Amino acid sequence: MNTQEIMTTLAVGGGLAVVLWVLAKVGRVLASVFEALAALAVLGVALWGLLRAVGWIVRQLVGHWRTCLALLALWAWCTVLGWVSLVVTVGVLAAVLLMWWRLDAVGYDQWCGRWLRAWWLRWALYGRKLAGWLHACGLTVRDDAIPVDVTVNLVSRRRKREAVAKARQASGVAVPKLLSVRSGPSWDEVRVRLVPGQKPEDFDEVARELAVARKVARCQVRELEPDVVSIDFMRRDLLDTAVTGLPVPEMVSVDGSGVDLRAVYAGSTEYGTPWTLPLVGGGAHTLVAGASGSGKGSVLWAPLVSAAAPIRAGLVRVSGIDPKAVELAYGRGIFARYGVSGKEALDVLEALMEELENRKRVFAGYTRQVPVSAEYPVELLEFDEIGALTRYTDRKTRDAIVERVAILTTQGRALGFAVRGYVQEPTKETVPVRELFTRRICLRVTAKSQVPMVLGDGAYERGAWANRIPESAAGVGYVWGEGIREPLRVRAGWVPDQTVKHLEHYVTNGGASVIHLSDRRGERGTA
C-alpha cells in the first residue's frame, strides 16, 4: 500500500469518525428532546386528568353539597373519634328519629322526614331511573344531523339509507337534567330542565305514561319556568278516606265577622291542606258537575256550614232553587228565597235581579266593590240540578232562566252576588252559560270527554282524570278556574243529615230574614 492509499484510507476513516461523532451528538440531543416531549405528554395527561377530577368534584360539591358535606363530616368523625363512636351515634340518632316519628309524625315530616326522604329518593330512585323513564316516554331529543358528504356523494339508495342509519345511531341523545327532588307527605316534586327542542306541553301529554313508569296512580306536570317543569308523582292518596266538614258553631252570639268569605272551608286538597272556596269576589261563581252519587251535596253543604255564622248574622243571604225538591228542601229554613218549579225559580231569580238593579243605583259612581254588610249582604244562589231548568223545560221558561243566570254571573261579582250551579250532564246544550262560571269543579263523571266540557281544554292532559274516580270516593273531584294554574284534586267535607238540621236550627234561631215565595206572591197580589 503506497502513501496515497494510506492517506485516502485515513481520510475516509476520519470522515466516518466525524460522522459517527456527529450522529452520536445528534442522537443524544434527539433522545433528550424525545424524553422531554414524553415527559410533557405524561404531565399533560396527568394535568388533564387532574382538571377533570377537580371539575367533577366541583360539580358534585355544587350539585350535591349536602351529601358531600355529610360524607366529609363522617370521614372527619371517623378519623377523630373512630368507627365505634359513629355506629353508636347513628344508632342513637335512629332511635330518636323513630320516637319522634311515632309521637309527632306531622312535626317529624315537616322538619326532618321530607328532607331525608327527598335525599334518599334522589339517589336511590330518580337519579338512577328518571332518565330511562323520560327516554321510554319519548322525552329525549336526538341529534339527527347527517354529514353533508354522505348525502351528496352516495348514489346508491341502499348505501345512503345505511349511512343515514349509522349516522343517527352515532349521534347523541339529550336528556332533561334532573335539578332537584322535593318530597311531601304524599307527593314527590321532581324538577327537570328541558333541552332545546322541548316544551312543557310535551310532558303534559305523557303524564299518564310517567305515572305508569313510576308505578303510581297519578302524575301531574307543572311549568315553573320556561325551561323548567316539575313532574309531581303521588306516592299515596290522602283523599282515600272521607273528609269531615266543620261543625256548626255552638255559640249563638257569633256575629260572623271572623269568617273570611273569600276563603270558606270546603274540604281538603290532595296535598293535605285545607280546600277553601270563595263566596264573594273572584271565583265565587262556581259550576259543579258530577254523576249521580259523586258528592255534589258535599260541595253544596260544606261551605254553607262553614259560613253558618255570617248567614245567621245576615251577612250572607242564601237563595235556593231545587227542582228535585230533595237536596235543598232538607235544610229549607236557611234559604231566604226558595223555589222548586220553573215559575218559582223565575220568582227567585227575579228577586235577585231587583236587588242587583237596586245596588247599581245605590253604589254607581261611589265604589267599585260593594262592601258586605247586613244591609247589603252577599247574595248567594244555590242552583241544584241547573240542567233540569236550563234544558228540560218549556222554551219560554228556559230562555228566561238562562238570561237571568247570565246577567247574575256577568254583573254580580262586584255587587256581592254569587251563583253556584250543580249539574249531572255538563254539555253546552244543558248549561248554555257554563263558560260564565269562573270556577269549575269536576267530580266523578262517566266519560273522559266530559272532563274538558267542565274544566276546559287540556285539563285531562294536565292530570284531571275525573272519569277514573271510583264510585266509593264521593266528594272527590278536580278544581280548575280563576287563580288556579293546574287542576287541583280535592275532596269536599262530608256533611251528615243531622249537621244540616243543626245548621237550619242555628240559622233560623239567629233571626235570619227568611222570605217565603208565598209571601212575595201575596205582596204582589197574585194567587
> pLDDT tens digits for 202-233?
998 899 899 999 999 889 888 889 899 999 99
Q: If you compute the radius of gyration of the chain from its CA atoms, what whole number of angstroms results?
A: 38
Q: In whole angstroms, give the CA distance from residue 300 to residue 383.
A: 10
Asked if residue 523 has pLDDT above 70, the reply is no
Helical packing angle, 65-81 and 3-63, nearest 10°: 100
Q: In whole angstroms, give the CA distance from residue 525 to residue 502.
A: 35
- Of the CA atoms within 13 Å of residue 506, those in its CB half-sphere come to 26
Helical packing angle, 342-363 and 395-411, nearest 10°: 30
**Predicted local confidence at residue 110, as pLDDT:** 72
Amino acid letter, residue 182: R
Residue 412 · residue 356 · CB < 8 Å: yes
Asked if residue 133 has pLDDT above 90, the reply is yes
Mean pLDDT of 403-409: 93
**Mean pLDDT, the chain, integer:** 82
Comparing CA positions, the residue from 462, 458, 492 lying closest to residue 475 is 492
Q: In whole angstroms, give the CA distance from residue 220 to residue 233.
A: 7
Amino acid letter, residue 48: W
Asked if residue 321 has pLDDT above 60, the reply is yes
- The neighbour count for residue 38, using CB atoms within 10 Å, is 10
Ordered domains of the chain (ranges, CATH)? 244-523 (3.40.50.300)
Q: In whole angstroms, give the CA distance from residue 184 to residue 9.
A: 99
Residue 474 · residue 293 · CB < 8 Å: yes
Any idea what the Cα angle at residue 122 is, between residues 118 and 124, rounded to 5°?
Answer: 115
Q: In whole angstroms, give the CA distance from residue 184 to residue 188.
A: 6
Give the annotated binding-site residues for ATP.
Answer: 290-297
**Predicted local confidence at residue 527, as pLDDT:** 28
Residue 407 · residue 356 · CB < 8 Å: yes
Q: What pLDDT band is residue 390 in, cutting at 50, 70 and 90?
A: confident
Residue whose grid cell is 291542606: 273
Helix (H) or strand (E) holding 16: helix 3-63
Q: In whole angstroms, give the CA distance from residue 454 to residue 435.
A: 9
Residue 318 · residue 304 · CB < 8 Å: yes
Residue 444 · residue 398 · CB < 8 Å: no
This prediction has a pTM of: 0.70
Give the annotated binding-site residues.
Answer: 290-297
Q: Which residues contact 238 (CB under 8 A, 6 or more apart)?
A: 185, 186, 268, 270, 271, 272
- The neighbour count for residue 363, using CB atoms within 10 Å, is 17
Q: In whole angstroms, give the CA distance from residue 207 to residue 232.
A: 9
Helix (H) or strand (E) holding 170: helix 157-170
pLDDT in tens, 251-294: 555 556 678 899 999 999 888 889 999 999 878 899 999 999 99
Three-class SS of residue 442?
strand
**Predicted local confidence at residue 10, as pLDDT:** 62
Q: What is the dihedral of CA 379, 380, 386, 388, to 10 degrees?
A: -70
**What is the CA 409 to chain-centroid distance, rounded?**
28
Ramachandran angles phi, psi of 410, nearest 5°: -90, -25
Any idea what the Cα angle at residue 525 is, between residues 522 and 527, rounded to 5°?
Answer: 70
**Predicted local confidence at residue 79, as pLDDT:** 78
**Predicted local confidence at residue 380, as pLDDT:** 95
**Predicted local confidence at residue 481, as pLDDT:** 65
Residue whose grid cell is 242552583: 383
Asked if residue 518 has pLDDT above 50, the reply is no
Asked if residue 140 has pLDDT above 60, the reply is yes
Q: In whole angstroms, give the CA distance from residue 384 to residue 397.
A: 17
Buried b (16+ CB within 10 A) or exposed e, 185-217: bbbbbbbbebeeebebebbbebbbebbebbebe
Look up residue 523 and give its three cell numbers.
205582596
Amino acid letter, residue 108: Y
Q: In 3-state terms, the chain is what percent helix, strand and coil (to 5)? A: 50, 15, 35
Buried b (16+ CB within 10 A) or exposed e, 317-330: bbbbbbbeeebbee
Amino acid letter, residue 428: K
Q: In whole angstroms, give the CA distance from residue 140 to residue 47.
A: 34
Q: What is the dihedral of CA 261, 466, 490, 291, to 10 degrees?
A: 60
Asked if residue 194 has pLDDT above 90, the reply is yes
Comparing CA positions, the residue from 442, 508, 462 lying closest to residue 210 is 462
Residue whose grid cell is 327537570: 192
Q: What pLDDT band is residue 105 in, cutting at 50, 70 and 90?
A: confident
Q: In whole angstroms, give the CA distance from residue 261 to residue 416.
A: 11
Asked if residue 317 has pLDDT above 50, the reply is yes
Q: In whole angstroms, give the CA distance from residue 204 to residue 48.
A: 42
